Protein backbone atom coordinates (compact mmCIF):
# COMPACT_ATOMS: atom_id res chain seq x y z
CA UNK A 1 0.00 0.00 0.00
CA UNK A 2 2.78 2.44 0.90
CA UNK A 3 4.40 1.72 -2.47
CA UNK A 4 1.25 2.87 -4.29
CA UNK A 5 1.02 6.03 -2.19
CA UNK A 6 4.70 6.84 -2.67
CA UNK A 7 4.53 6.16 -6.40
CA UNK A 8 1.49 8.43 -6.63
CA UNK A 9 3.32 11.19 -4.75
CA UNK A 10 6.36 10.88 -7.03
CA UNK A 11 4.27 10.86 -10.21
CA UNK A 12 2.17 13.84 -9.07
CA UNK A 13 5.29 15.66 -7.90
CA UNK A 14 7.12 15.16 -11.16
CA UNK A 15 4.04 16.10 -13.18
CA UNK A 16 3.62 19.28 -11.14
CA UNK A 17 7.28 20.25 -11.57
CA UNK A 18 7.16 19.62 -15.31
CA UNK A 19 3.91 21.57 -15.64
CA UNK A 20 5.29 24.49 -13.63
CA UNK A 21 8.44 24.67 -15.74
CA UNK A 22 6.48 24.35 -19.00
CA UNK A 23 4.02 27.10 -18.08
CA UNK A 24 6.86 29.30 -16.76
CA UNK A 25 8.55 28.94 -20.15
CA UNK A 26 5.28 29.88 -21.88
CA UNK A 27 4.96 32.99 -19.68
CA UNK A 28 8.53 33.93 -20.61
CA UNK A 29 7.75 33.55 -24.31
CA UNK A 30 4.51 35.49 -23.89
CA UNK A 31 6.23 38.33 -22.04
CA UNK A 32 8.38 39.08 -25.09
CA UNK A 33 5.27 40.19 -26.97
CA UNK A 34 3.77 42.26 -24.14
CA UNK A 35 4.45 45.76 -22.91
CA UNK A 36 4.45 47.62 -19.60
CA UNK A 37 2.34 46.07 -16.84
CA UNK A 38 1.41 42.97 -18.81
CA UNK A 39 5.08 42.25 -19.51
CA UNK A 40 5.99 42.65 -15.84
CA UNK A 41 3.09 40.51 -14.67
CA UNK A 42 3.95 37.75 -17.13
CA UNK A 43 7.58 37.72 -15.93
CA UNK A 44 6.49 37.72 -12.27
CA UNK A 45 4.20 34.76 -12.91
CA UNK A 46 7.09 32.99 -14.63
CA UNK A 47 9.23 33.42 -11.50
CA UNK A 48 6.33 32.34 -9.28
CA UNK A 49 6.10 29.10 -11.22
CA UNK A 50 9.85 28.56 -11.01
CA UNK A 51 9.55 28.92 -7.23
CA UNK A 52 6.70 26.42 -7.28
CA UNK A 53 8.86 24.03 -9.30
CA UNK A 54 11.68 24.34 -6.74
CA UNK A 55 9.25 23.54 -3.93
CA UNK A 56 7.82 20.60 -5.88
CA UNK A 57 11.26 19.24 -6.69
CA UNK A 58 12.29 19.35 -3.05
CA UNK A 59 9.04 17.77 -1.85
CA UNK A 60 9.36 14.99 -4.39
CA UNK A 61 13.01 14.42 -3.44
CA UNK A 62 12.11 14.16 0.24
CA UNK A 63 9.33 11.67 -0.57
CA UNK A 64 11.74 9.47 -2.51
CA UNK A 65 14.48 9.73 0.12
CA UNK A 66 12.06 8.87 2.93
CA UNK A 67 10.61 5.92 1.03
CA UNK A 68 14.06 4.55 0.19
CA UNK A 69 15.05 5.11 3.85
CA UNK A 70 17.98 7.32 2.78
CA UNK A 71 16.78 10.33 4.74
CA UNK A 72 18.44 9.31 8.03
CA UNK A 73 21.78 9.09 6.19
CA UNK A 74 21.59 12.69 4.99
CA UNK A 75 23.01 15.15 7.53
CA UNK A 76 20.44 17.45 9.13
CA UNK A 77 22.35 20.50 7.86
CA UNK A 78 21.85 19.29 4.26
CA UNK A 79 18.17 18.56 4.85
CA UNK A 80 17.69 21.93 6.51
CA UNK A 81 19.53 23.70 3.70
CA UNK A 82 17.26 22.04 1.16
CA UNK A 83 14.20 23.19 3.10
CA UNK A 84 15.54 26.73 3.46
CA UNK A 85 16.15 26.84 -0.31
CA UNK A 86 12.66 25.50 -1.06
CA UNK A 87 10.85 27.91 1.24
CA UNK A 88 13.04 30.83 0.19
CA UNK A 89 12.30 30.23 -3.48
CA UNK A 90 8.59 30.02 -2.77
CA UNK A 91 8.37 33.01 -0.44
CA UNK A 92 10.65 35.30 -2.47
CA UNK A 93 8.75 34.66 -5.69
CA UNK A 94 5.47 35.28 -3.86
CA UNK A 95 6.78 38.58 -2.49
CA UNK A 96 8.04 39.49 -5.96
CA UNK A 97 4.62 38.78 -7.47
CA UNK A 98 2.94 40.92 -4.81
CA UNK A 99 5.34 43.83 -5.44
CA UNK A 100 4.82 43.65 -9.21
CA UNK A 101 1.03 43.56 -8.92
CA UNK A 102 1.09 46.42 -6.41
CA UNK A 103 3.09 48.56 -8.81
CA UNK A 104 0.78 47.74 -11.70
CA UNK A 105 -2.23 48.95 -9.68
CA UNK A 106 -0.58 52.32 -8.99
User: Average pLDDT over the chain, rounded to whole?
Assistant: 93
Q: For 49-59, what is each residue's pLDDT tens digit?
A: 999 999 999 99
- State the angle between helix axes of 76-105 and 36-67 in degrees (0 to 180), rounded to the nearest 10: 160
One-letter-per-residue 3-state SS of 53-103: HHHHHHHHHHHHHHHCCCHHHCCHHHHHHHHHHHHHHHHHHHHHHHHHHHH
What is residue 32's three-state secondary structure? coil
Termini Cα distance of the chain: 53
What was the pLDDT predicted at 54?
Answer: 94
Cα separation of 8 and 75, whole Å? 27
Amino acid sequence: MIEIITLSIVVMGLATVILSIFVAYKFKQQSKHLTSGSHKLSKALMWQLIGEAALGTGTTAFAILAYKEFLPDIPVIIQSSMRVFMFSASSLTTIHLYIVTSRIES
